Amino acid sequence: MTKSKAFPHILGGGVALLLLAVICYLTCPAIHIQNPGLWLLVALGIFVYLVVSRLCGGHHSSASIITKNGHRISLSLGINGKLFLIPLGVAALTGILAIASGEMFHAKAYANVLVIQESDFATDLSESVKTDTIALMDTASARMLGDREIGSLTHVVSQYDVANDYTQIDYQGKPMKVAPLEYADFFKWINNRDTGATGYVTVNPVDMEASFQKCEGMKYIPSAYFGQDAKRHMWSQFPTLMLENLHFEIDESGKPYYVASVIKKSIFLFGGKTVSGCVVMDPVTGKCTHYDLKDVPRWVDVVFDGNLICDQYNWHGLYQNGWFNTLFAKKGCKQVTTYSTVDEDGEEEEISDFGYVAKDGDIWIYTGITSVNGDSSNIGFLLSNERTGESRFYPIAGADEKSAMHAAEGEVQEKRYQASFPSLINVGGEPTYIMVLKDSGGLVKQYAAVNVEQYNLVATANTLDDCLEAYRALLNDEADPAPQPEVETTTHTFSIAAIKEIVADGNTYLYLFDDKGNAYYAKAADHIDMLLLAVGDPVTLTCNGQEIVTCLIGPPAQ
């Protein structure tokens, strides 16, 4: 093939490679077979090569081979239109593999991604927890305090902003929210790129105080550009790792770092996202270190992002009984508690939320667990370690977080305070929501404690210690229930004619009906297995009156 005839192919390949290089530089995709975006980039590269080559006359290219016998054999090297099926095929294959990696075909595998251990609440969350380890402040309040602190530093505020994303960490045994300085815009980066961002903000979520901490210039940060962009710099060091959850942390000495989670897919090719480790970057020098999950430094607090843990639990709660069950019977389906909010486009969406618990030098997230029927009660709680991914379930029925927040706001409704998302503590052996109440300006005005199982037990006060003291008094004043007359235990065997769930005082009760209209009930938290029952199942119940004591699925043993 002559030089002129090869030109369209060389140009097409060059344009395709240049385009892919630009896209990779801008988006930093993981060069990994489990990254579907990489497959689509390959399809795009092939497509661009074919288009450019064809437009430049590549469809006329040919070559000749002279055999030993003097015969000439012509070979067509043109760009046949059928070759455009190649990039379309790669894109289609990517879609097929993504579907084949989904929950429809691997429901059980998705259900087992998150390993959950049932545990005892009173043992894991001791009542001896000190008030200075309870993280109550939400990100919005932390952001307000951080901005106010930086606003008083004229030499800082003229060049930098405080990053919007505050990271909840455990610092020297106490909860702390931290956020780095970031460049206000491109021109501020130009002016300061040689020195870098020279500090970060810490916010104590207990005493509600913010402070500015100076440090060496952090050059490799997310708001920088080109080679100093933190994400791009990490990608240049580890281009084959799938990195997510890039965030800011400090070690026990106050030295700043950026941490990103290393993602792996555990189901088929593209499914079952989990974490295999992290990459830690020194933003001053740019040095990056990759750690496997078992070797993550003790001071690193967030490797498993809370949103990923919530997704993993939803897989566990929804797909235990298969994918089709989530569409029709929904037998035993559970999920983390969600609430409605309005996104930037004004559309209503359901999102999950979670609180933080500082425990044993780590940050644990907790969230309520509820049935998919969408009532306002929890059947238990999930507590997960953001560093190790260890997850524990507590079968405690009660009001969900939003109901508790409304109960606290109702105690001071004349002041129109808003409750922050609560934390979960142990008071007198009682699981208790603890939260702050803020005014319209975001300032913390009061504290509130709400009993999980009886959310009509609410205490508010101006300080956290006073709030807990008032709440303990409520618990002590709670009258003991009057003794009930003994009811003869009876046994009932029947096939379930109907099942209903009723919420009362923040608790979910299950009612089973026989074919004669008789109803028998039990608190869901005391009989978790009953959530798996369906109409038509044979059961044998032992009851005190109408209250179920034991429930055996199936007819009585002969």
Percentage of the chain beyond pLDDT 90 is 54
Q: Please say whether the beta carbons of 379 and 397 come within 8 A.
A: yes
Span 205-209, average pLDDT? 80
Whether residue 1 has pLDDT greater than 60: no
Span 127-139, average pLDDT? 71
Of 478, 505, 521, at which residue does a domain stop?
478
- Say if 405 falls within a structural domain: no
Chain mean pLDDT for the chain: 87
Whether residue 301 has pLDDT greater than 70: yes
CATH number for position 535:
2.40.50.140
Torsion of the alpha carbons at 340, 346, 347 and 348, rounded to the nearest 10: 10
From residue 184, alpha-carbon distances to 24, 159, 181, 284 in Å are: 25, 6, 9, 19
Q: Which pLDDT score, from 0 to 100, does residue 497 have? A: 92
For 218, phi and psi rounded to 5 degrees? -90, 105
- 376, 261: one domain: no
In DSSP notation, 478-513 reads: SPPPPPPPP--EEEEEEE--EEEEEEETTEEEEEEE
CA 371 vs. chain centroid, Å, equals: 19
CA distance 8 to 231: 36
Of 396, 431, 455, at which residue does a domain stop?
396
- Say if 316 falls within a structural domain: yes
- 390, 464: one domain: no
pLDDT digits over 388-401, tens only?
999 999 998 888 88
Angle at which helices 36-55 and 85-100 cross, to 10°: 170
CA contacts within 13 A on the Cβ side of 381: 31
pLDDT interval class at 353 (50, 70, 90):
confident
- Say if 403 falls within a structural domain: no
Q: Which pLDDT score, from 0 to 100, does residue 372 have? A: 83
Q: Which pLDDT score, from 0 to 100, does residue 311 have? A: 95
Span 474-479, average pLDDT? 77
3-state secondary structure of 409: helix
For 41, phi and psi rounded to 5 degrees? -65, -40
- Say if 408 falls within a structural domain: no
From residue 211, alpha-carbon distances to 177, 283, 441, 526 in Å are: 11, 20, 20, 47
Q: Which pLDDT score, from 0 to 100, does residue 483 have? A: 62
Q: Please say whether the beta carbons of 389 and 194 come within 8 A.
A: no
Span 152-160, average pLDDT? 80
- 175, 286: one domain: yes
- Please choose, from the candidates 205, 204, 157, the residue with its C-alpha nearest in 3D space to the C-alpha of residue 181: 157
pLDDT digits over 53-94, tens only?
888 875 554 445 555 565 554 444 456 678 889 999 999 999
- 204, 218: one domain: yes
Q: Please say whether the beta carbons of 464 and 131 come within 8 A.
A: yes
How many CB atoms neighbour CB 549 within 10 A?
15
Whether residue 410 has pLDDT greater than 70: yes
- Say if 406 falls within a structural domain: no
The predicted model scores a pTM of 0.80
How many CB atoms neighbour CB 214 within 10 A?
9
- 215, 113: one domain: no
Q: Which pLDDT score, from 0 to 100, does residue 332 have? A: 84
- Residue scoring higher pLDDT (268 or 526): 268
pLDDT digits over 14-54, tens only?
999 999 999 999 999 999 999 999 999 999 999 999 999 88
- 60, 27: one domain: yes
Q: Please say whether the beta carbons of 434 and 137 come within 8 A.
A: no
3-state secondary structure of 403: helix
pLDDT digits over 417-475, tens only?
999 888 888 898 889 999 999 988 878 889 999 999 888 899 999 988 899 999 999 98
Residues 6+ away with beta carbon under 8 Å from 478: 457
- Say if 407 falls within a structural domain: no
Angle at which helices 36-55 and 3-27 cross, to 10°: 150
pLDDT digits over 113-122, tens only?
999 999 988 8
Question: How many domains does the chain fold into?
Answer: 5
As given in the structure block, the two tokens for residue 109 are: 């595998």
- 507, 452: one domain: no
CB crowding 441-471: b at 16 or more within 10 Å, else e: eeebebbbbbbbbbbebbbbbeebeebbebb
Whether residue 555 has pLDDT greater than 80: no
- Say if 412 falls within a structural domain: no
Of 100, 122, 157, at which residue does a domain stop?
100
Whether residue 168 has pLDDT greater than 70: yes
- 468, 503: one domain: no
- Residue scoring higher pLDDT (313 or 76): 313
* Structural domain boundaries enclosing 212: 134-303
Residues 6+ away with beta carbon under 8 Å from 457: 450, 451, 471, 474, 475, 478
In DSSP notation, 115-163 reads: -EEE--HHHHS-TT--GGG-----HHHHHHHHHHHHHT-HHHHTTEEE-
- 321, 377: one domain: yes
- Say if 409 falls within a structural domain: no
Percentage of the chain beyond pLDDT 70 is 88
Question: Could you write out the three-class secondary structure of 420-434?
Answer: CCCEEEEECCEEEEE
pLDDT digits over 251-268, tens only?
999 999 999 999 999 999
- 336, 389: one domain: yes
Span 488-504, average pLDDT? 87
- 281, 146: one domain: yes
- 144, 288: one domain: yes
Span 345-361, average pLDDT? 77
Span 483-504, average pLDDT? 82
Enumerate helices (H) and strands (E) in the chain, giving the number of each: 12, 32
